[in-house]
A and B are shown apart, each in its own frame.
Chain A
Amino acid sequence: MTTLNNTPGAKSFPGAHDIYRTELSNGITLLVRSNFNSPSVYMGGYLHCGSLFDPMDKLGISNFTSLALMRGTQHQTFQQIYGSLEAVGASLGFGAGVHNVSFGAHALNEDLPLVMQLLSDALRLPAFPTEPCERLRAQMLSSLAIRAQDTGDQADMALDALLFPNHPYGRPEDGFIETVKNITLEDLQRFHQRHYGPNGMVIAIVGGIEPQQALEGVAQALGDWENADQPAAPSLPEILPMQAGERKHIAIPGKYQTDLVMGVVAMKRTAPDYFAASLGNNVLGQFGMMGRIGDVVREKAGLAYHASTSISASLLGGSWEVSAGVNPENLQKAIDLIHQELRRFASEPVQAEELQDSQANYIGRLPLALESNAGVVNALLNIERFDLGLDYYQNYAGRVKAVTPEMVLEAARKYWTLETMGIVSAGPALSDAPLPA
């Protein structure tokens, strides 16, 4: 309890004192935090059956399977499932990431049992009926056709492929048109039978419900679920920095703006330098009106409406990226300005005042992130997924304050090796001149 007052307002944050955590005998972990101020309840969670199990010729199968769970079960048709959900204004949805299939549900408190029953039905007894699933496939293929025209999506995908060659992080969870066409409904059934199971599943529930009541609901719906064949995650190639810089442009005719992304391979979420990098990223391309990058590209040069940076840190590795949307004529100017800022960021420590600003921002914004039930569910899942400890948010301010300008510089130097950066733009065709770099 000595750390309770470490973060201003910490007593209102989730911690060991008010998070109920238990493990069911079949491997499901349940986290609950009651909030009786709320007339509604939010439930989120995940299972270990993400796109890292996708075969190369059937990329998108994990995502397709997750979306098809609600297209009909052995007990209910598609229309019956959504009829009962929508009639009470509730929602339940699934989607695949690389490691996990995630789900989220929102309902008035009195409707949680209904949602829990649907969750169980969808996870355990999906029927993959032909017509609804073929309609779903047509919708997915249309989304992929739209994605092919989206300059931001195209640039992001191409950069991921550069940063993570031969790794699931470099491949889109929703697959490609050809691979989604390759997937049969029997494939979905097999994927479900083999990979869906309670082992490693996590459920977090926040709202007007007692932990014991939540436990009883989960135990009744999913307590007797077993899958003896559920496989462990396959071993994956090590993630290494790029060996040489690469520059790509994706020409999409008829567009008015070019999306630009520049990025490097970065750390996993549990790496010791994650916090230093994250705060450095805030200085570089988040703080205020998008940090230093926003200041030079948007505020001073007026080149872009958005220009910012982000770190995406997952279980095995991550990326650190700059993104901006610019007029095609200003592309080179934007790249040059960003280069300058990255060079400075990787060679000089951030100023003490800049870091203090970002530290204050991190600490001050926490109550906002944790005010809604959905925000707390995300926090609980974060704690569980990365093994951060139930008092992570109680001790958060101390971690943030421990970062120094030298630690930020060390992380910046380690990851922002500009000669091995990936640069991708997507927009109108470039002239025949050599690609700007």
Chain B
Amino acid sequence: MNAVTKVNLSNGLVVQLKEVHTTPIISHWLWYRIGSRDERPGYTGASHWVEHMQFKGTPTFPPGVLDKAIAREGGNWNAFTHLDWTTYYETLPAEKIDLALTLEADRMTNSLFLTDEVESERTVIVSEREGNENEPLFRLGEAVQTAAFQRHAYGHEIIGLPQDLERMQRADLYEHYQTYYRPSNAVLAIAGDFDTQEMINRLEEVYSQFPVASTAGDQDMPRPARPEPPSSAEQRVKVVGPGEMTYLQVSYHSPAAAHPDFFAFTVLDSLLSGPTSLNMFGGGGISNKTSRLYQALVDKEWVVSVHGGLQATIDPFLYDINLTVHPEREADDALKALDEQLTRLHEEHVTEAEIARAIKQARALFAFGSENITNQAFWLGYAEMFANYTWFTGYVEALEQITPEDVLRVAQTYLVPQNRIVGLYLPNGEKGEETDDDFE
């Protein structure tokens, strides 16, 4: 693995650089420690909306200029808002990277947030949400997430609640931007075909406009962390909507990424429902047809599909098991079949061979992900958002330390009824119909 250089600029910006000279490309990621986790009631969706506004221009790059500037150079760019973070990336031909450096430094502080643009983006985001609401699994996931967190801000969808999207104004969004978008709240990660010292020199120039970080730290950045108290009983939620299929989402409160149990949970997830790939770009996944749940639920025809997912987050989030119930079965029976497998995990040690398999799968996923410079740069910053880069470099080694006792303990700790939310999507059976009209 190529060496990573970490630099702390005087304004507080943390820079992670990794030279990769296999192809003339550079990928540049700017990560902010702001996501839906930090949103107050009434302002849900602000982080995501601000992310949209970051594409709406600065005095140097007026609206409509930014996207064209990147596209003209053949670059890829986009942004993502998550529970804990918001990130902006550009992957460009190496000789064009200065565009990414200057525009990201520029929009860290100079975005316009024109009122007209805020209003136009309001309807775009409402439209994005309506597109999500067309999907039964979004509706079910939102209901489960809401039930799972009574206090913590993980309880609302990142896109925000409809009433907040209608209510928030330009001033709310601009305040959010000014509060959280600053060098001391960001990590800049760059991988690709460059010289490290030259890149450091250039970054010092580009970010020289920002003052030295205050010694008082970031006390003026509100972090309304509201720890979620342990739940005392299983919760059940039901959503009724269009369609013919019944879905179950069984979600367990799971450990934070930096918690020692996270790695044992990763092994557990891998053998229970198949390995989860944390790569955002490239590599593809590995099927889960020999996982315990596939064999017990799909092969036995209780469900037609099963997927599990564990996310790396700052605070404890959710481990989701999603089931599409077989059309000729009942959801309760599918849940019973699932519970039999969970009971088995509580009562029996998993085998060393199962753990070895999970490790090999993780190693393969890492190798696949490293084919792509964008994904390499992604990891440089992503791991810093919930732990640090050594979390990533030590990932496989950490999995290798996991024993059958660890997996048993984690199953007994987390996969218990009082720690879960069972979500059921029941179809109302309405079907569509087609109408024709020649328009001549």
Chain A contacts to B: CB under 8 angstroms? 8-9, 12, 37-40, 78-79, 82-83, 85-91, 93, 106-108, 135, 138-139, 141-142, 145-146, 148-151, 154, 158, 244-257, 287-289, 295, 298-306, 325-327, 357, 360-368, 370-374, 419, 423, 426-427, 430, 434-435, 437
Chain B 413-427 residues near chain A, CB threshold 8 A: none
- Residue of A287, A423, A430 near B71 (CB, 8 A) is A287
Contact B285 A91 (CB under 8 A): yes
Knowing A302-B122, A304-B124, the reply to whether A106 touches B284 (Cβ < 8 A) is yes
Set of chain A residues within 8 Å of B282, measured between Cβ atoms: 372, 374
Knowing A12-B23, A89-B275, A247-B438, the reply to whether A289 touches B74 (Cβ < 8 A) is no
Set of chain B residues within 8 Å of A304, measured between Cβ atoms: 124, 127
Set of chain A residues within 8 Å of B368, measured between Cβ atoms: 40, 106
Contact A303 B432 (CB under 8 A): no
Contact B93 A9 (CB under 8 A): yes
Contact B286 A288 (CB under 8 A): no
Knowing A91-B286, A302-B121, A435-B439, the reply to whether A364 touches B24 (Cβ < 8 A) is no
Q: Provide the bound-state CA to CA distance between A255 and B132, in Å.
A: 10
Knowing A86-B361, A108-B364, A138-B327, the reply to whether A146 touches B243 (Cβ < 8 A) is yes
Contact B76 A87 (CB under 8 A): no
Contact A246 B133 (CB under 8 A): no
Question: Please, could you name 9 A-B residue pairs with CB atoms under 8 Å apart, sorted by A?
Answer: A12-B23, A82-B289, A87-B290, A142-B326, A146-B243, A245-B438, A248-B434, A254-B428, A361-B71
Contact B440 A244 (CB under 8 A): yes
Interface string of B114-152 (1 = CB under 8 A from A): 000001111111111011011010000000000000000
Contact A367 B286 (CB under 8 A): no
Set of chain B residues within 8 Å of A362, measured between Cβ atoms: 74
Contact A90 B364 (CB under 8 A): yes
Residue of A107, A151, A249, A368 most packed against chain B (CB within 10 A) = A368
Knowing A89-B360, A138-B301, A146-B243, the reply to whether A357 touches B287 (Cβ < 8 A) is no
Interface string of B214-243 (1 = CB under 8 A from A): 000000000000000000000000000111
Binds A, one of B338-346, B370-378, B380-388: B370-378
- Residue of B360, B361, B373 near A371 (CB, 8 A) is B373
Knowing A108-B364, A327-B127, the reply to whether A250 touches B122 (Cβ < 8 A) is no
Chain B 236-269 residues near chain A, CB threshold 8 A: 241-245
Q: Provide the bound-state CA to CA distance between A311 and B415, in Å.
A: 48
Residue of A146, A148, A295, A304 most packed against chain B (CB within 10 A) = A146
Q: Provide the bound-state CA to CA distance between A150 and B242, in Å.
A: 10
Interface size band for B = 35 or more
- Residue of B131, B290, B295, B438 near A244 (CB, 8 A) is B438
Set of chain A residues within 8 Å of B439, measured between Cβ atoms: 245-247, 423, 435, 437
Set of chain A residues within 8 Å of B71, measured between Cβ atoms: 287-288, 357, 361
Least Cβ–Cβ distance between B384 and chain A, in angstroms: 24
Chain B 273-318 residues near chain A, CB threshold 8 A: 274-275, 282-291, 295, 298-299, 301, 304-305
Closest 10 CB pairs of A and B: A364-B74, A89-B364, A254-B242, A437-B439, A302-B120, A288-B67, A305-B128, A252-B432, A302-B123, A365-B74
Knowing A89-B365, A257-B134, the reply to whether A426 touches B75 (Cβ < 8 A) is no
Contact B432 A148 (CB under 8 A): yes
Contact B304 A138 (CB under 8 A): yes
Knowing A248-B435, A367-B93, the reply to whether A149 touches B299 (Cβ < 8 A) is no
Residues of A contacting B: mostly:
mixed
Contact B430 A254 (CB under 8 A): yes
Contact A366 B74 (CB under 8 A): yes
Interface string of B61-91 (1 = CB under 8 A from A): 0011001101111111000000000000001
Set of chain B residues within 8 Å of A299, measured between Cβ atoms: 63-64, 120
Contact A142 B76 (CB under 8 A): no
- Residue of A83, A89, A430 near B361 (CB, 8 A) is A89
Set of chain A residues within 8 Å of B290, measured between Cβ atoms: 79, 82-83, 86-87
Knowing A86-B289, A248-B435, the reply to whether A253 touches B242 (Cβ < 8 A) is yes
Q: Provide the bound-state CA to CA distance between A138 and B73, in Å.
A: 47
Knowing A39-B367, A82-B290, A365-B75, the reply to whether A151 touches B437 (Cβ < 8 A) is no
Contact B434 A37 (CB under 8 A): no
Q: With an 8 A cutoff between CB atoms, is B431 at the interface? A: yes
Q: Provide the bound-state CA to CA distance between A145 and B327, in Å.
A: 10
Set of chain A residues within 8 Å of B242, measured between Cβ atoms: 149, 252-255
Q: Provide the bound-state CA to CA distance between A371 and B92, in Å.
A: 12
Contact A88 B364 (CB under 8 A): yes
Nearest residue (CB) in B for A87 is B357
Q: Provide the bound-state CA to CA distance between A300 and B299, in Å.
A: 51
Set of chain A residues within 8 Å of B357, measured between Cβ atoms: 86-87
Q: With an 8 A cutoff between CB atoms, is B96 at the interface? A: yes
Least Cβ–Cβ distance between A204 and chain B, in angstroms: 16
Q: With an 8 A cutoff between CB atoms, is B324 at the interface? A: yes
- Residue of A78, A108, A257 near B130 (CB, 8 A) is A257
Contact A40 B371 (CB under 8 A): yes
Interface string of B96-113 (1 = CB under 8 A from A): 100000000000000000
Q: With an 8 A cutoff between CB atoms, is B173 at the interface? A: no
Set of chain B residues within 8 Å of A245, measured between Cβ atoms: 438-440
- Residue of B76, B136, B244, B288 near A368 (CB, 8 A) is B76
- Residue of A288, A366, A372 near B372 (CB, 8 A) is A372
Contact A364 B437 (CB under 8 A): no
Nearest residue (CB) in A for B66 is A288
Contact A364 B327 (CB under 8 A): no
Knowing A135-B301, A300-B120, A302-B121, the reply to whether A37 touches B436 (Cβ < 8 A) is no
Contact A361 B245 (CB under 8 A): no
Q: With an 8 A cutoff between CB atoms, is B40 at the interface? A: no
Knowing A298-B124, A423-B439, the reply to whether A86 touches B131 (Cβ < 8 A) is no
Set of chain A residues within 8 Å of B305, measured between Cβ atoms: 139, 142
Nearest residue (CB) in A for B299 is A135
Q: Provide the bound-state CA to CA distance between A257 and B298, in Å.
A: 32
Chain B 161-195 residues near chain A, CB threshold 8 A: none
Q: With an 8 A cutoff between CB atoms, is B207 at the interface? A: no
Contact A86 B287 (CB under 8 A): yes
Nearest residue (CB) in B for A37 is B22
Contact A426 B432 (CB under 8 A): yes
* Interface contacts beyond A12-B23, A139-B298, A437-B439: sample of 4 additional A-B pairs, CB < 8 Å, sorted by A: A78-B289, A86-B291, A247-B437, A364-B96
